């Protein structure tokens, strides 16, 4: 994977990742996934055209974009940001007494690192092994760069202390904010936003690390599969920028 510290002269898809996450979060207007999708602009602030919107999110594409010419992918490090005040709210709900199950700053960073690692593993498998797109560490003129972020992450019952057990109906939810760039020109080609929620189970489950990881894997696999299928459709000429279409996806 490209090291940002060794590539300070790269094009703007490597700009400050704190700013990237800030833009990702602020781009999602309040109520967007609560029936107010009409607030989406037909053309984004940077000239992308709304190509698809549905129950889970939306896709913006560069006018006239053609993905057929890209034959390998470079996946940048996945940035991870929790839902606003997640740590504060989780610790408050844990009770006023000192508890090993409260989330420390260290715990938060460990969870973020684990999510980022799992994201890269799943996207590499789905796009590389199943999709047939070589995953490279250095870009070429035919490289499509993926800059992902998992934002608004909410884990209902993270396992911070194995001696403390709790149950959960659902593991939580997260939003994918993904931007695609041309490696040669640095031009942004697409912006994808998709929110997924772990389903409510038939009964409350013990919130183990395996439970949370499996829920995360299912959500990430859905994202990666949709992207792989999007590439396949694009190469068959089925995806074009311009008038968007509504979906129930």
Phi then psi dihedrals of residue 224, to 5 deg: -65, -40
3-state helix, strand, coil in the chain (%, to 5): 35, 25, 40
Checking if the pLDDT of 59 tops 50, the result is yes
Q: pLDDT per residue over 89-98, tens digit each?
A: 988 887 544 4
Checking if the pLDDT of 76 tops 60, the result is yes
Q: pLDDT per residue over 164-222, tens digit each?
A: 667 776 889 999 999 999 999 999 999 999 999 987 776 667 778 888 899 999 999 99
Q: pLDDT per residue over 96-138, tens digit each?
A: 444 457 899 999 999 999 999 999 999 999 999 999 999 999 9
Give the three-state DSSP class for 197. Answer: strand
- Calculate what percentage of the chain has a pLDDT beyond 70: 72
């Amino acid at each position: 994977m490209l090291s940002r510290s060794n590539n300070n002269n790269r094009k703007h898809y490597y700009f400050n990742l704190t700013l990237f996450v800030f833009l990702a979060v602020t781009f999602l207007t309040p109520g967007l996934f609560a029936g107010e999708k009409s607030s989406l602009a037909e053309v984004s602030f940077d000239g992308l055209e709304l190509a698809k919107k549905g129950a889970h999110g939306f896709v913006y594409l560069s006018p006239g974009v053609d993905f057929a010419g890209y034959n390998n992918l470079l996946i940048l490090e996945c940035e991870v940001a929790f839902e606003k005040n997640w740590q504060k709210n989780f610790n408050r709900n844990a009770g006023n007494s000192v508890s090993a199950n409260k989330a420390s700053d260290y715990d938060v960073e460990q969870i973020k690192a684990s999510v980022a690692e799992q994201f890269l593993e799943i996207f590499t498998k789905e796009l590389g092994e199943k999709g047939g797109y070589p995953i490279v560490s250095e870009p070429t003129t035919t490289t499509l760069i993926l800059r992902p972020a998992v934002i608004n992450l909410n884990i209902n019952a993270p396992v911070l202390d194995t001696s403390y057990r709790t149950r959960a109906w659902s593991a939580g939810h997260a939003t994918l904010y993904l931007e695609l760039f041309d490696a040669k020109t640095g031009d942004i080609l697409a912006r994808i936003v998709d929110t997924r929620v772990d389903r409510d189970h038939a009964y409350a489950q013990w919130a183990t690390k395996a439970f949370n990881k499996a829920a995360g894997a299912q959500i990430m696999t859905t994202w990666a599969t949709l992207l792989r299928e999007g590439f396949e459709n694009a190469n068959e000429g089925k995806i074009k920028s311009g008038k968007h279409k509504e979906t129930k996806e």
